[in-house]
Structure 1
């Protein structure tokens, strides 16, 4: 058999033809099987000659064949340059023109027709939502008898649409990869502005999740069971209300944890479509119920939505991190309402886009600022000729000016390990990099309100560091400089090691006992609990000016960023939960004076990181490592005993729950504790160092860490939480006893680069 490059991925089957007569039946079966396999593999990249569409006339000086010459021979057709006849787009005639595609043939080659229509009166059509994939556009289809390159996932999707169209009696589909000239920046900008209107004019949205790998059946099955549970629960709750019974007695029975379909559901939820930032708009504005297509299976979006809501309610521990993403999708797609763009950017941070600029453009169809294409702000124009950094910078400035708030800056952070020398002139420290994954959670909690224009917006609920002062921005600066007015609060005196979820080296004999104690507390990050216990003792040795009760309160608020697990205000929480945690994680033998304590790994990491955690010796001289040695026995015993012996009321002690404290420690991950020059404890970004400056910027609800670049400019490092300054304390005039000058707060301008 002829060998085709790339057609075989497995071992060749060698057929000995001299034994054909003896094994003719077996060999014939094998030959048919091998030829069938060969044809299947070839059909993925080659077009059979008999299925080629008619060749288009080419511009040439050669006289075309006439009747005298006769029809083209087989070899003439083979050598004809059909592979060079690519599909070429014509200009769209009007501002409301758009293209639709019809799939005529799906196998063995995909043959389509593209036609231009007016959006005001289009034929019945459906819009396709799908994932482009990472393989590029290397699969061949035919459009209007011309060769067209698409992604492999879309080619499979077109084959599925051909079958779906025959069943639903819908011929036309809108597919961005085909219907928009991706090489024409002007057309892409124009069509993105029409995107919301296109999806609204479609009958509904079809969601192509990809081909089935034998897991789709189980996933669809368990989703159906979850949906039936929703219906049964609603019936039981209705009956309970009628009979006046408590709804707490309504029993819900989920499939067994040993059910293999849970693994299929995990595969289903991990499909890349659920991470696309475009899906929010494509689902929300669909006038009909969207339909999920996965392989040969299909499912209504409304049923999937109800099933996921039940999963979040009745099985909260199932794929907790992934379900956070699902909850974001459900929250944003539950109602077709307009949002403020800055709030959309905050809510869609986990989503991804093939083109980084689409992290912005994909949200414009839901943003109130771009509700009508004719009135879009210039800064939000979906211009693909601009660089990603220019787009992000313009949007950040627009959000600051539009909202008179600096909430957007909380999405910008300097990641630990980033080499400052690699930050070139195109990257601005204050501009959020929306395509990057943000590992750390927010320091604030948000509530949904209505803006003055009636759009939904997110507002920070508790923190108010600038005492409700509006943004004070000087626009008369170069575009790359953000000049803001604010107040210096304090310098950073020392930083502690970064808190991560990875295992940390520790050779102390107390590690095993500490780990066994930690097993008593249910937490997905046991390393976080151990590190928190170590930091508690180390921080105490550097904040001896605080009383025991004041230090407990400060450590509690800083490590939780002032929030409970339910995202409520933690300032009124009793300290009994923290004490219960400390009694578990601090072994008694440490209080008796062992040689190596649980704080050993933090102290060693602190000493090893002391040099890199200091910006420059001229700004903040490194503190002697002697202060990080294990405190004297008498001091440690009295400190530990006093801290753990102070108790609340008898009722509080009986209700002490260490998990109530540990479940609120999420803000600690990928951040570091620090102490200011004024003796305050804070929680800041991983990229901060000693010598940085903590500031209040007008319009900001939290504090920020800046790093001086020169006499004028500052680099933005990230948001931070410092106990004692989160509710406008720095904005209040102070007398001379507190160190202020003439009892006035000194404002200054900060040029962020």
Structure 2
């Protein structure tokens, strides 16, 4: 669109939008259309068209309100696909119906997106022209949706899929609904590259789960899950990684987050302001659990040059991720968090003049004394045991070395603490899980299944050592008969908890899991309002820290630090930069 285009003024606060009216014509005839204004309050009849608006190399001239008008070739192609022969068709297209250069209009229209998508008769997602295969094969359409060759799936697909009454993917002459896309995904799972499948399958499963919850009237998941798991998706403007979910996460709007496309405000400022407002609104620190190390090499979602300069350590970078990012410890699907290290108290941000400094209260509980080797798995498949994995075997030796003091009651308690650290065990549950001893023998490789099996579901316990023969064989038989599924769950949990992390041993003898970038001397803190403990790196100024990331410390995940006898003396103000 150009600034000279004939756009009428719309009043976004009055729910007005522009619609592109495709005038009827034969398939290959020139495209004639016009713009008209409509109010969402009057329930207009229209469809939505969505596609990836990358920088086009070629344009085509159409007629808009009797005036020649240039549009990208891909847009002209899909307009021909959607045009009817006998009657006009009204379509909303954000890159056409919103003046992209008008920041004020764009900020207002973004707030209307949930209504625009949910009130449309159909939402069409254009994936491009396909020249291979047929609809029955499913793979060509799926390959296009996966971004072959156009790039990664788009961020907007999340909002489109969740809000649309009827979602249709168009790839050339092929059309697929969301449900048929799922069937195509399953049928094509062995034909597509693992990286592509992983990228699309993860977001497809997330959206499918959210769609099911919405249809069941259960609402949606945490906005932080949407933000964190959508980092792999393509997004032209990095601040839309937040604004794209305004209609899906009411708590974000309630926190006072409003879109701004003012170029004088950097994306780093937008992300920082968002993090502060979410903490102030929720009085919880769950957003800090999304912080990952992104500075340096290996960032796989690029941002514009210097776009994130000045982003403080406590504000997550939603536009940057690396292959070594660990999964969040929090389970966003839980109604209440599995951990409550500091949640018995509310997070209160203290007054501070510098917007890049976050001032919170908490307890300086401990300090990192030793760290294990970081474990960066080469494949995204849970191993059957830690046997043969150098990092995890080194963790065991480090954790079980006799400490000067042990908070777990000696060798037996320390071994149990290590096993439950491997799986980042649920807080508050002090009873041993069913088949606990057999699980330990399997995980440590003393009783496992032959290598070559593809998953823990193929378990066949063997190789019990003589000194524990009776107990292990008894447990192994019980596990083989009854516990395969349960052990599979534990193996997956161990992978999710330990991958891209390292074992920590604190000065007071506690065992836990730290981010891969942790260092000896990092402070273990329990902040008021935090579900988990956090690691902080002391700065050159006393009382000033940078956030390293979330951590798991066995023995203080259920609020025990708040009841510690030295908690009052250890309480302090953390100035986080």
TM-score (structure 2 length as normaliser): 0.78
Corresponding residue for residue 132 of structure 1: 53
**Secondary structure of 1:112 counterpart:** strand
2:175 aligned residue (269, 291, 298): 298
**Which residue of the other structure, out of 307, 331, 341, is the alignment partner of 1:445?**
331
Q: 1:701 to 1:569 in 2, by over 3 A?
A: farther
Q: Counterpart of 1:748? A: 572
Q: Equivalents in 1 of 2:554, 2:469: separation in Å? A: 21
Distance in 2 (CA, whole Å) between partners of 1:693 and 1:129 is 47
Do structure 1's residue 160 and structure 2's residue 81 form an aligned pair? yes
Secondary structure at 2:49 match in 1: strand
Distance in 2 (CA, whole Å) between partners of 1:146 and 1:569 is: 74
Give, in whole Å, the separation in 2 of the partners of 1:196 and 1:363: 9
Match of 1:472 in 2: 348
Give distance in 1, aligned partners of 2:277 and 2:466.
49
Give the equivalent residue in structure 1 for 2:433.
572
User: Would the aligned equivalents of 1:490 and 1:676 in 2 still touch at CA under 8 Å?
Assistant: yes
CA contact (8 A) 2:373 2:391 kept: no
* CA 644–267 in structure 1, closer or farther in 2 if over 3 Å, else same: farther
1:550 paired residue number: 413
In the alignment, the residues of structure 1 paired with residue 313 and residue 67 of structure 2 have an alpha-carbon distance, to the nearest angstrom, of: 47
**Alpha-carbon shift at residue 130 of structure 1 (Å):** 2.2
Contact 1:412–1:718 at 8 Å: present in 2 too? Answer: yes
Q: Which residue of 2 aligns with 1:538?
A: 397
1:217 matched to 2:135:
yes
Query: Could you tell me which residue of structure 2 aligns to residue 683 of structure 1?
Result: 513
Q: Which residue of 1 aligns with 2:267?
A: 388
Q: Highest Rg: 1 or 2?
A: 1
Change (3 A) 1:495 1:666: same
- Any gaps of 5 or more consecutive residues in structure 2? 299-305, 449-463
CA distance in structure 1 between the partners assigned to 2:387 and 2:72 by the alignment: 43
* Residue in structure 2 matching 1:410, options 289, 293, 296: 289
Q: How far 1:188 moved relative to its partner?
A: 0.4
Q: Distance in 2 between matches of 1:84 and 1:540?
A: 64
- SS of residue matched to 1:157: helix
Q: How does 1:592-741 map to 2 (within 5 A)?
A: 645=468, 648=471, 651-656=474-479, 661-664=490-493, 665-709=495-539, 710-734=541-565, 740=566
Does the alignment pair 1:368 with 2:247?
no
Structure 2 CA distance for partners of 1:537 and 1:378, relative to 1, 3 Å: closer
Structure-2 change in CA distance of 1:307 and 1:200 (3 Å): same
Cα-Cα RMSD? 3.9
How far the C-alpha of 1:474 sits from its partner, in A, is 0.9
What SS does the corresponding residue of 1:575 show, helix, strand or coil? helix
Determine if contact 2:225/2:332 at 8 Å carries over to the other structure: no
Alignment partner, residue 236 of structure 2: 354
Shift of residue 294, structure 1, vs aligned partner: 1.7
How do residues 138-537 of structure 1 correspond to structure 2 at under 5 angstroms?
138-142=58-62, 143-146=64-67, 148-162=69-83, 165-166=84-85, 169=87, 171-215=89-133, 217-220=135-138, 264=140, 267=143, 270-271=146-147, 275-286=153-164, 288-304=165-181, 319=197, 322-334=200-212, 335=214, 339=220, 341-342=223-224, 344-346=226-228, 348-369=230-251, 379-385=256-262, 386-415=265-294, 426-437=310-321, 439-449=325-335, 459-460=336-337, 462-466=338-342, 468-502=344-378, 523=382, 530-537=389-396
- Counterpart CA distance in 1 for 2:251 and 2:382 is 42
Deviation at 1:703, TM superposition (A): 0.8
| 1-structure distance, mates of 2:351, 2:80 | 54
- In the superposition, relative to structure 1, how do residues 154 and 582 fare at CA in structure 2: closer, same or farther (>3 Å)? same
Relative to structure 1, the CA distance from residue 570 to residue 194 in structure 2 (aligned partners, 3 Å threshold; closer, same or farther) is: farther
Which residue of structure 2 aligns with residue 598 of structure 1? none
Higher fraction of helix: 1
Q: Using a 3 Å threshold, how does the CA distance of structure 1 residues 199 and 748 change in structure 2: closer, same or farther?
A: same
Give the equivalent residue in structure 2 for 1:582.
444
Shift of 1:364: 1.1
Deviations 1:695-716 (A, max 9, x none): 1011111110111122232101
